[in-house]
Amino acid sequence: MGNNFVSSEAGKISDVRFLMMQQRLSAPDGPTRNQDTFCEQEPPAEPEARDAITRLPGIATQLIGERMRTMYASMVREPVPDDLLNLIRQLEAKEASE
């Protein structure tokens, strides 16, 4: 499963630079957050982050977000070591015996 998903993902990040360049060429001046396709709701600009927001190309941000979620999901799917599972069972057994 990992291999399938990895192969489908391959090359996305390498395309980011091209997509950013392409979007910058076609984007109007000023902030254009409508195309930013991060799944979570976009927060309003705050002074600390305003400069960063105006620079973010939507497609690149989307790809980064997807890649991050994919990477994280693959980590979540990793098997939990037995010693961690056993720890809980030992704690439960100890509590039950008290």
Interacting residue ranges for another protein, rule: CB under 8 A: 2, 6, 9-14, 16-17, 20, 38, 40, 43-46, 48-49, 52-53, 55-57, 60-61, 64-65, 67-69, 71-78, 80-81, 83-85, 87-89, 91-92
Please tell me the distance from the alpha carbon of residue 91 to that of residue 80, in angstroms, as a whole number.
17
Q: Which is nearer to another protein, 27 or 68 (CB)?
A: 68
Name the DSSP class of 81: P
Q: What are the residue ranges of helices labelled H in 1-98?
A: 2-9, 12-26, 50-55, 58-76, 82-97
30: helix, strand or coil: coil
Q: Which is nearer to another protein, 1 or 28 (CB)?
A: 1
Only one residue has tokens 């499963």, namely 1
Report the nearest approach of another protein to the CB of residue 97 (Å).
14
Q: Which is nearer to another protein, 28 or 96 (CB)?
A: 96
Residue 56: name the closest of 40, 37, 71 by CA: 37
Report the nearest approach of another protein to the CB of residue 26 (Å).
17
